[in-house]
Structure 1
Amino acid sequence: MKCILLAAGYATRLYPLTKDKPKSLLPVGGKTILEHIINKVERIDTVEDIYIVTNDRFYHQFLDWMEQHRSLKKIKILNDGTTNNDNRLGAIADIQYVIERENIFDDILVMAGDNLFDFKLTDFWNFYRTVASDCITAHELTDTNELKRTGVIEIDEEYRVISFEEKPQNPKSNLAVPPFYIYAKDTLKLVDKYLQEGNNPDAPGNFIPWLIQHGDVYVYKFEGKRYDIGTLESYEQAQKIFG
């Protein structure tokens, strides 16, 4: 299995912190956000390679970081060639860029490079092996305002996703979906099909409502903390929790 970490955004909501520094390389508790994530990815034995896709503005900062970081897995930094928020490819297009550039024909673990969490990725991987189908993650939120800022799903009794809505005004459930996904190798060709049809290439969650029309997608429900570091306030909160 391969791992793709999405780190090509420009994090304008975190300015001035991220004006000259990528969000994934911000420090939390003595190490970067990226290192927190990679430490968890490394515990999945079947992950062979980790691909970090970034943009042209921050590419060399990631290369400098990699020279200082020692990992149990092979890490490769990819530059998607974009230079600002206006010409960015979008997360789903970045996934396809990595798949094509590296000729990937394996199952992939896809994650955003700006989310901190305390559940075990190995548990997610074991769930995927059990259902043998594409998987996403979800956790329960009680705050309706938080649900309106994320993807929200409905599931059946077998934990199969039956609906997905990105940032709904009227959430249909309390199950929020962070950007952690496992896609089977046979699904990779559907990423290109999704994009060729002209669908939204941006937020990775946009792929899910389209994907559930083409096959079964299951959800691994986790408990514990998860922080999407998108604002100065959420960064400060993550510092307190994970610091």
Structure 2
Amino acid sequence: MSESSVPVRRHPLHVSGTLDPGVSRWLWLVKWLLAIPHYIVLLFLWIAFFVLTVVAFFAILFTGRYPRGIFDFNVGVLRWSWRVTFYAYGVLGTDRYPPFSLSADVDYPARLDVDYPQHLSRGLVLVKWWLLAIPHYLLVSAFTTGSYRMSTRMDWASGGATDGGQWADGGQWMAQGGTPSLLSLLVLFAAIALLFTGGYPRGIFDFVLGLHRWGLRVVAYATLMTDHYPPFRLDQGGPDPDAPATAQPPGPTV
């Protein structure tokens, strides 16, 4: 079989974002206030996410299947969190207010979906969320936490090393002293550029999307949604390179 005929295994989690060309110079200064209703709702959604993931753990352990209703709800929580992250201080990529919805919205500039797994390994469920994912926890923590401690709802997955809390809180961190993370610095530079030039540097946007994409793949793996091991790869840019052609966002990305 030739190399070109070997099927490419795409990652089942698809994360994309379209940078709005007219992002406001100043609105980011008050987005912390505007996003408060979302943060409150997401707090309760992530509590439910945690409980349902524990239920899914036992379902996978005994049946090899992730209950479809729980899966769809948990994907919805990730989707909602990604929209808030994209709107607020995780990216600052749009001024369009995120919808209060777990459902997919192809018209919103931030999109997330996860392919439903027909079967999951009953053995891997015992080790992938803590042992196998440790290398990714270390790498992702390096660019998302710096010497800040995240407010997290998902420390159960890694004994405190996972980055799931970042997306649970829409990209927010609780400063405990020290230096900010690489991700927060990049978004800060973008905010300053918006304030003084009215433009979001495209290189920063692409890099920030790549960091989030990597982190969310790890979250999906650690929360048992897939057996597909996250690649050690920074897929930069707004469109997800692993998304099906029909799932790519319409129109320009700049």
Richer in helix (by share): 2
TM-score normalised by the chain length of structure 1: 0.25
Considering Cα pairs closer than 8 Å and 6+ residues apart, tell me whether 1 or 2 has the greater RCO.
2
TM-score normalised by the chain length of structure 2: 0.24
